[in-house]
Amino acid sequence: MAKPSLKTILLATTCFIAAGILVNKAIIPWMINDVKKLELATANRKKQINTLTSLKRNSDLSQKRLAKFRSLGFAKTKKEATAKMGELLTNIIKQSGLNETEFSRRPYDLKPIVGFSGNHVITIAHIVSGTGSTKKIIDLLFLLQNDPHIQRVENISLSPISGTTNVRVNFQFISLLINSKYGDYKGTNSPPINPSIKSEARDLYAGITKRALFLPYQKKPPAPPTPSKKPKTNRTPPPPGPESYKVVSLSQWKGKQEVMIYNTAKNETKSYKLGDSLAGGTIVMIDYRQMPFPKKPELLSQSRVIVSIKTDYWAIERGNTMADIYKLTPEQLPEKLIEKQL
């Protein structure tokens, strides 16, 4: 066999080296990249599966909790739940020793809960307002807050009533109506424990009723002045100012609205209706929207009387005096009055 020439050897060696470079620089990286892409895609799919599994587990737990909460609701329909809430309020008002006729209980629709679509979870509420002694009002709030139903008491406000030792209370009594979409609770609830006024838990509130919360600081009275020898003159006291007239009640019964104004100078209460003159204007409506107090925006007012003075509308919040009257901006007007202006 003839010995290959040097040219043939060099050509074969060059081809071999070129083939090796091609395999090392092109074919092997191409195969490795595909493997890495497959490994990365597999890792992402595993991560997505783990995330979905965790979401499913949390969803199941949340549904079980909602099903349990549903078993603690007042009823299965909004109408029935609203009625039972009102019945419970009446019973607890009586249990607290308060006068039922001194309280108003008005169903109120709150905004839907963020995160729940449709009618799966509905908020139902009552706006409650009434008067009584501080001790009995605290008893009422204690019994409501510790009731075993799914509920809570919000926006509590207490204010003194001039000329008496009683106080006025306003609050929202709120519950949830949870749809059967979340299933029925399969566990066993503990027997409900109805709160009692005569209990250690109620005794923790005793400090509230022992303090004169609404009495301002009173300095020691000065020594009586030396009797004057000047002749006494009969002076007619000045007429009461707007701060003497306080809006104490804004009620609605069988479609008729009524405004109760308390005259602190004469210690008497007078009733006004739509169309009557008040504060230099004419009463046009009672507004039950929830709005901040003008001078205390951190507190919410539940209602106000609106009067028309010339071409403007003015309002007095319940609990304030005529001296606190303020002009409503176009943004503050209720839809009913906006439509009248159009």
Helix (H, G, I), strand (E, B) or coil at 300: strand
Question: What is the pLDDT at residue 96?
Answer: 92
Extract long-range pairs of 48-53: CB within 8 Å, 24+ residues apart: none
Question: What is the pLDDT at residue 90?
Answer: 92
SS (H, E, C) 97-110: CCCHHHEEEEEEEC
Question: What is the pLDDT at residue 72?
Answer: 78
Question: What is the pLDDT at residue 191?
Answer: 56
What is the topology classification, in CATH, of domain 78-181+198-209? Alpha-Beta Plaits (3.30.70)
What are residue 287's DSSP bridge partners?
304
Q: Which two tokens stand for residue 10?
A: 């060099």
Alpha helices of 174-247 — where are they, by DSSP H?
A: 200-203, 206-210
- Find out whether 130 and 93 touch, Cβ atoms under 8 Å: yes
Q: How far apart are CA 302 and CA 291, in angstroms?
A: 7
**pLDDT < 70 positions in the chain:** 1-4, 6-7, 22-35, 59-60, 62-64, 66, 69, 111-119, 180-193, 209-221, 227-240, 341-342
Question: What is the pLDDT at residue 215?
Answer: 57
Number of H helices, E strands in the chain: 7, 14
Helix (H, G, I), strand (E, B) or coil at 226: coil
Q: How far apart are CA 265 and CA 268, in angstroms?
A: 8
User: Within 10 Å of residue 253's Cβ, how many Cβ atoms?
Assistant: 8
Domain boundaries of the chain, sorted by first residue: 9-54, 78-181+198-209, 242-341
- Find out whether 258 and 272 touch, Cβ atoms under 8 Å: yes
Helix (H, G, I), strand (E, B) or coil at 167: strand
Q: How far apart are CA 108 and CA 111, in angstroms?
A: 10
Closest CA to 296 of 141, 171, 137, 155: 155
Report pLDDT digits (tens) over 43-93: 888 888 888 888 877 766 766 676 776 777 788 888 898 899 999 999 999
- Find out whether 305 and 247 touch, Cβ atoms under 8 Å: yes
Question: What is the pLDDT at residue 233?
Answer: 57
Question: What is the pLDDT at residue 172?
Answer: 92
